[in-house]
Amino acid sequence: MKPHGLLHPPHGRPKNLQPLDYLFYPRHVAVIGASSQKDSVGRAVFENFFSHGRCAYCNKVFAVNPKHSKVLGHKSYKNVSEIPFDIDLAVIAVPARFVPNVFLECVRKKIEAVIILSAGFSEIGEMKLTQQLQRLMDKNPQVRVVGPNCFGIFVGDTGLNTTFSAQQKMLLPKPGNVAFISQSGALGVTILDWAATQPFGVSKFVSYGNAMDVDESDLLEYLGKDSKTKVITVYLEGVKHGKKFLRIAKNVARKKPVIVLKGGVTQQTHAATISHTGSLAGSTEVYEGVFKQTGIIQAHNLTHLFNFAKIFETEPLPNKNRVQVITNGGGYGIITADALVQNGLELAKLSTRNIRKLKKVFPPTVSVHNPIDLVGDADANRYKIAVQTALRDPNVDMVLVLVLFNTPAISAQLVHELGKLKKTAKKPLVVASTGSRFTFEMRQLLEQKGIPTFSYPELAAASLRALWEYAQVRKRN
């Protein structure tokens, strides 16, 4: 039936197609199990093709539902074979027991990629059904399958969204450089929704669930080569094939930062991860060894996963681990210095020449150590001098600027000055600032200027540590 008759390939689709390109850049999509029923997964998935502002797939998506001739006003096909166009991607949202048959229909239709959203397989002990599906998949390896028991995918540059997120209840990220892959659908939703509030955008998002075919390693490999992806973040409960993962992860981590949050790291949660996606949990020590060996950066909680993604998206890698802290609040500087040291970073020591210079230009209340405490009446100019000096000092590898935006002397002028310095900065330059409304606004302005900001100094410290950790990985390789 090829070539496709209806529409051009989507913008961004590579020329030499890899199997997984059909997943991320399909020309036509079928939603099998599309439905008009309120609060159903089949409805949410289908609706999402027509929402969230972008509608790149409005004319390229087809509803399949044997019980209805229309779904949400669109023609519905009884069977995927009835669709008069070639289909690159099928999204399956039917009850588990119907999945094997529906999959076979996709095979017959020569569909290249299938996403099975349906739950009810190995994760709840339905081994017979799982094995039946596995056999069919093994017989048809040309069809690449994501899932089952997953949340779907989202592609930043085309707006393709096969998830069943409830439109009014979450936001979608803008196009960008950060990829997220998640074994857990729930965490996937969270990540997508949260990423929408971030300064960076998302290249590809995949919730891959039980990983009966496409697994974390396949996705890592694809994203490693994906020109639109700069940073890869992963939520992982277990690895399907150890050796394959080791080989691919090592290879990818050499080129791009790979940040992993591992779920099920305590003995008490091992059992839960096994039941959750039916994967092998493995001991924490084994995983930590694998991460170290491959150069993967481990995030120990969700906050870190999110903040690491942010810092890697904008910042260059540091040469060494010496951080200069610049603050307008003494105590704020001290807890930050504590956090840096606790993260294995060093407090930089400015060159004697620079110390002398700063002491000359600053009032005697200013403390020219590390932290440089510009004190409560510091204005944009005082910050400018300190930050510029630190950026140029050979003894400084990273600059962490703390700002309490609530003092009388601080205004948006500071954002302007930091933005100017950022343009030519060759070292990581980040800002931490805790507060409410006004602080949020100033942080957003800073992020628009490409400066990552953190709501708490301890998050900035942990993120700088991740940057330094990855700098060492890159030096090693």
Which listed residue (12, 278, 371, 428) binds its own copies by CB under 8 A?
Answer: 371
Give min distance, CB of 156 to its own copies, in A.
Answer: 16
Residues 235-274 that bind its own copies (CB under 8 A): 235, 237, 261, 263-269, 271-273
Note whether 307 binds its own copies by CB under 8 A.
no
Q: Could you tell me the two tokens for 360?
A: 């000359």
Q: Would strands 453-454 and 429-432 be described as parallel, antiparallel, or unpaired?
A: parallel
Residue in 122, 328, 354, 389 binding its own copies, rule: CB under 8 A: 328
| Nearest-approach distance from CB 310 to its own copies, in angstroms | 15
Residue type, 277: T
| Footprint on residues 178-237 left by its own copies (CB under 8 A) | 182-187, 189-190, 193-194, 196-197, 235, 237
Q: Is 51 in the site for its own copies (CB under 8 A)?
A: no
What are the beta bridge partners of residue 114? 90, 145
Separation between Cα atoms, residue 118 and residue 14, nearest integer Å: 29
- Indicate whether 308 belongs to the interface with its own copies (CB under 8 A): no
User: Among 73, 364, 424, 426, which residue sits at the site for its own copies (rule: CB under 8 A)?
Assistant: 364
Q: According to the binding rule CB under 8 A, does residue 84 interact with its own copies? A: no
Phi/psi at 82 (nearest 5 deg)?
-75, -15
Binding mask 26-45 for its own copies (x = CB under 8 A): -------------xxx-xx-
Enumerate residues 99-138 that contact its own copies by CB under 8 A. Answer: 119-120, 123-124
User: If binding is defined by CB under 8 A, does position 176 make contact with its own copies?
Assistant: no
* Contact residue for its own copies among 404, 419, 447, 450 (CB under 8 A): 404
- Name the residue nearer to its own copies (CB basis): 30 or 44: 44
58 binds its own copies (CB under 8 A): no
Q: Which of 335, 355, 380, 445 binds its own copies (CB under 8 A)?
A: 335
Q: Give which of 257, 307, 314 is closest to 249, Cα–Cα.
A: 257
Among 76, 122, 165, 210, binds its own copies (CB under 8 A): 165
Among 164, 208, 245, 312, binds its own copies (CB under 8 A): 164
Pairing of strands 202-207, 152-155: antiparallel
Decide if residue 424 touches its own copies (CB under 8 A). no
